[in-house]
Chains A and B, each alone.
Chain A
């Protein structure tokens, strides 16, 4: 890939960003390529040294705040014509409810994800509390001289603490996985605002 191809691919991959941002970034990479060529690299080598368009795009998308992408997408390219304004107003019940539904779906996905994780931790906490109560109950029975129920309580407490330790690792893993998933979800939403390289 030569410099011209690389820069035009980069420009296309960043569509969705503010126009001025794209220009500035493309100029930045052009300068980087020129400086390497000046040092004796061929254009192809210089482009290779900079990395792939996809990598650059991914890094930019993960750094830019979502609000900016949305604002850029919502901003009309040329002023709104009278008929478009009229269509927007007439279509308000439709597009607004669609938009609200889309946001509601995303929000509920997010809430469900964290609710699951919270529920897991709640189970974990309940097991710990029950195990502790079992030990106390067993002590009380023992003091009162009832050996059999005391033994049973102690056994139950041990089983519960075993389960709690086991589940703890599950909870930690689920939380980590949930955080990663939430991150991917955010990246996915942002990606919708930037055209994919095809």
Chain B
């Protein structure tokens, strides 16, 4: 898949994973496992990018005697998910058109 496209998709994937409740690195990887195999380094880069874009915030909290970083989605992050939904509605109708024309052949 096109790298630029995949990067954008993974960003939204990670946002979706923290949308309903704050999450931490390993949990995000586990939650996304059924959809895509995300490596630690890739996740790190995505989280950094989303943080500097103001789509999530980070806080450290104690867990079991050690610190763990928790990621929380911001308003901007939620907006991004909404934008994604609209954009992809169009992509899906294009896909359906392509498939339909393909069958008619």
Contacts and interface: CB of A to CB of B under 8 A. Distances in A.
B76 interface: no
A25 B44 contact: yes
Interface size class, chain B = 10 to 19
B24 A35 contact: yes
A69 interface: no
Contacts of A29: 40
A185 interface: no
B29 to A, nearest CB: 8
Interface in A19-77: 25, 27-29, 31-32, 34-36, 38, 50-51, 55-56, 59-60, 63
Determine the main DSSP class of A at the interface with B: helix
Given A38-B64, A51-B39, A31 B26 contact: yes
The 10 closest A-B pairs by CB, nearest first: A35-B26, A59-B41, A56-B41, A32-B40, A28-B44, A50-B40, A32-B26, A32-B25, A31-B68, A63-B45
Interface of A: 25, 27-29, 31-32, 34-36, 38, 50-51, 55-56, 59-60, 63
11 contacts: A25-B44, A27-B67, A29-B40, A31-B67, A35-B25, A35-B68, A36-B26, A51-B39, A56-B40, A56-B41, A63-B45
